[in-house]
Amino acid sequence: MGPIQALKLYLDQQVVHLSLEKLSQEPNLDSWLNLLTLPVRPESELAVCSQQILARRPDLKTVVLPMLVQRFPELTEDQIMVIAGIPREEIRHTRAVQDWLAEGRQEGRQEGEANVTLRLLNRRCGLLSNATTAQIQALPVDQLEALADALLDFTGPADLTAWLAAHT
């Protein structure tokens, strides 16, 4: 029986609506149904559940990993790999993981650039408002780099205001 048939059978026989919490309590779930329960499972069950899915269906690595990333955005790549029981060398070559790693590096670069630029602007222009800080944090890396270069010529907050008006 395929995953869709299993889900239909479960829905026909047991429930009027689908509760992922209740579904997660069912023993020996099909890998696809088990995958559906990852977003609602307690953190203590995620490693075992992920590893059960991947033991039966190794091809679902590129689905399990993004689900864990979505669930735990604060965790590092290594921590997520440990939860899923996926050896780094085994999955690192997949396109989904390469995209995920590149996105993480880009976000880290953008955040670092924003932090340095904001520190320098606070020294050059005085304490920035929350709105201005948020506006600067939202700038893409290339504009943050341009702002960091331009701020060396700023004499005060008016220069920052003019630069933001001209470049955003």
Half-sphere exposure of 34 (CA within 13 A, CB side): 20
**pTM, entire model:** 0.45
Name the packing angle between helices 61-71 and 77-84 (round to 10°): 120
At 139, which amino acid appears? L
Tokens standing for residue 13: 């026989």
- 66, 54, 57: which is closest to 97 by C-alpha? 66
What are the tens digits of pLDDT across the range 88-141? Answer: 666 555 566 666 666 766 777 788 888 899 999 999 999 999 999 999 999 998
What are the tens digits of pLDDT across the range 13-54? Answer: 554 567 888 888 888 888 888 888 988 888 888 888 988 898
Binned at pLDDT 50, 70 and 90, residue 154 comes out as very high
